[in-house]
Amino acid sequence: MNPTEQPPTAGGPGENGPGQAAPAPWPDPAQEALRDRVASDSLTTRRDYLRIVTTVSGGLAVGAVAVAGGVLHRHGDSEDAPKPKRVADRLRPGESIAFRFPGEDDRAVGVRLKDGTLVGYSAICTHLACAVLWREDRGNDGELYCPCHEGVFDARTGEVTAGPPPRPLPKVLLVEEIDGSVWAVATTRSGESVKAAMCRQFGEQRPDMAARIGCPGMRTRTERSERT
Ligand code: FES
């Protein structure tokens, strides 16, 4: 019997006369005990459920505030121009490499797509800073995938294609030397163009290079000497 059901009354409907309510049955101690246990169990379960919901949503809220407030690490936070770093001796189509650039806290991933295009990204998710993984088996070109909340980024552009991440992945600019080695040379911020990133990072320290790529206000050494 379902413990929440009332037990049958001792007599039939006519036993106490028409219109008279039957007297309350004497409680069965075993049923009473069972009912108490079920009631306290469901109370505990409800309390536990509320505690879990509060903890999880509280954790997410703290994480979001931490990202907004800059507590969680974002890729390439430093203002210093990075030093080029050799990240692979060679990267063949379909291969990927995990590395750190420009700092030791800056996880990054480089991928040679099947058509030979070389791409590099921050491997720090723009949602709550989980590690982003390269998944060659997903999508046409493969995907950058964050397992924490199913975030997905486009392999060619770093744009968000699914899940909660609010911004694209910052890029890590990779160049290939004549010997096939792959070097990380600069980073973009999320949504920043490659040119703007190069000008920001190299404008002061390497004015010649900044002038060659057309950074506003920069002049090559030749142009500068012509003016004097
Ligand atoms: Fe939430 Fe990556 S941390 S999707």
pLDDT for the residue 226:
64
pLDDT for the residue 80:
66
Correct CATH for 85-191 of 2.102.10.10, 3.40.50.2300, 2.40.110.10, 3.40.109.10? 2.102.10.10
pLDDT for the residue 201:
76
Element (H, E) at 227: helix 221-227
pLDDT for the residue 122:
95
Measured in angstroms, how far is the CA atom of residue 75 from the centroid of ligand 1?
15
Compute the distance between CA of residue 29 and CA of residue 99 in angstroms, rounded to an integer: 68
Atom of ligand 1 nearest to the CA of 146: 2
Measured in angstroms, how far is the CA atom of residue 132 from the centroid of ligand 1?
8
pLDDT for the residue 34:
54
What is the SS3 assignment for 212?
helix
- CA dihedral over 156, 157, 161, 166, signed as positive or negative: positive
Measured in angstroms, how far is the CA atom of residue 126 from the centroid of ligand 1?
7
Query: Could you tell me if 171 and 162 are in contact, meaning their C-beta atoms sit under 8 angstroms apart?
Result: no
pLDDT for the residue 181:
95
The ranges assigned to domains in the chain are 85-191, 193-228
Query: Could you tell me if the CB of 144 is within 6 A of ligand 1?
Result: no
AA identity, residue 145: Y
Strands (E), 31-163: 85-88, 96-100, 107-112, 118-122, 133-135, 143-146, 151-154, 160-162
Q: Which residues of the chain have pLDDT under 70?
A: 1-81, 219-228
pLDDT for the residue 31:
64
pTM score, whole prediction: 0.62
